[in-house]
Amino acid sequence: MQQLPLDIELHSDATFANFMVGENQLLLQKLEAICQGESDFIYIYSEQGHGRSHLLQALTHAYSEQNPDKLIAYLPLENSMLVPQMLDGLVAFDCVSLDGIEKVIADKEWQTAIFNLYNQLKEQGKSFLITGLNAPSQLALELKDLKSRLSAMFIYNIKPLNDEEKLILLQRKAEEKGLELSNEVAHYLLARQQRDLPTLLGILDKLDQASLQAKRKLTIPFIKEVLGL
C-alpha cells in the first residue's frame, strides 16, 4: 500500500472483524466488495463515535492486504498538514478515502479540489469514499456542482447500535484491556451513564486505569466509587 508523505497512522485494531455491525450489514458488504475489486462511490455519514473512521481505516487495511499491486489513500481531513493541492495527485490511486469532510468543506478551495478529484476518479473507474457528520443535502456548499456530485454517491447513514449491541461491544473492549465486565456491571453502566459510544468507551478507559491502580476487579461498588455515583 502506498501512502501519502504524511505522518498518518492507522489503528491496528481497525478491522472489519472488530466492527460491531448491528444493522449496517449492507454497508459492510459494499466495503468488502471494493476490496474484492468492485469500484464504488460511497458517502457515509453519522454522529460522532458511530464508526466512520474505523470503517475507512478497516477498508484501507483490507484493501492493501487483498490488492498488494494497487494503491489506496486514506486522508483524515482533521490533519492540519493536509492542503487542497494534495488531492491533485490522488487520481493515480485506485481507491481514495476522505475522512471527515466537515473539517474542510467550508473552504471553497477544498470544495473545488474535492470536485475535481471526484470527476477524475469517476472517469477512470476508481473508488471514492467520503465520510461526514451530515448528509450531502445538509452541507453548506458554495460549489453547487459538488453537492450534486456528492448526492449522486451511494449515501449511507450508519445506524446506531441498540443497547444489547453496546453491551456486547463494551465487554469486547473490556476483554481487550484484560478486564472482566460482567453482564450485571455492563447493564449498570448503560443504566447510569450517557449511552453514546464515545462516552461509554471513555468511561471504560477511566475504569481500566482505576482498576490497574487499585488492583481491583470491576464491580458495581468499585464503579460507584470511581465515577462518584
Helices (H), 67-123: 108-123
Grid coordinates belonging to 50: 458511530
If asked whether residues 198 and 134 sit together in one domain, one would say: no
If asked whether residues 122 and 58 sit together in one domain, one would say: yes
Grid coordinates belonging to 196: 453514546
If asked whether residues 141 and 175 sit together in one domain, one would say: no
If asked whether residues 153 and 174 sit together in one domain, one would say: no
Mean pLDDT of the chain, nearest integer: 92
* 9 part of a folded domain: no
If asked whether residues 37 and 115 sit together in one domain, one would say: yes
218, with CB counted inside 10 A (0-12, 13-18, 19+), is: buried
Q: What residues in the chain have per-residue pLDDT under 50?
A: 1-5
Over residues 103-114, the pLDDT tens digits come to 999 999 999 999
What are the residues facing 129 on neighbouring strands?
Answer: 42, 97
DSSP structure class, residue 158: P
If asked whether residues 194 and 212 sit together in one domain, one would say: yes
Please give the tally of structural domains in the chain: 2
If asked whether residues 125 and 89 sit together in one domain, one would say: yes
Which phi and psi (to 5°) does residue 76 adopt?
-80, 110
Residue from 139, 87, 144 nearest 118 by CA:
87
If asked whether residues 202 and 106 sit together in one domain, one would say: no
- Residue 41 amino acid letter: F
Task: Supply the pLDDT for residue 64.
Answer: 95
Alpha-carbon distance of 67 to 33, in angstroms, equals 12
Are 4 and 75 in contact by the 8 Å Cβ rule? The answer is yes
Task: Supply the pLDDT for residue 1.
Answer: 42
Over residues 126-160, the pLDDT tens digits come to 999 999 999 999 999 999 999 999 999 999 999 99
182: domain CATH number is 1.10.8.60
If asked whether residues 205 and 95 sit together in one domain, one would say: no
If asked whether residues 174 and 129 sit together in one domain, one would say: no
If asked whether residues 130 and 167 sit together in one domain, one would say: no
Are 107 and 139 in contact by the 8 Å Cβ rule? The answer is no
Task: Supply the pLDDT for residue 7.
Answer: 61
Domain end (from 157, 182, 213): 157
50: containing domain: 25-157
114: domain CATH number is 3.40.50.300
If asked whether residues 118 and 171 sit together in one domain, one would say: no
Task: Supply the pLDDT for residue 13.
Answer: 84
Q: Cell numbers 492486504 correspond to what residue?
A: 65
Task: Supply the pLDDT for residue 2.
Answer: 45
Task: Supply the pLDDT for residue 129.
Answer: 99
SS3 content of the chain, % helix, strand, coil (to 5): 50, 10, 40
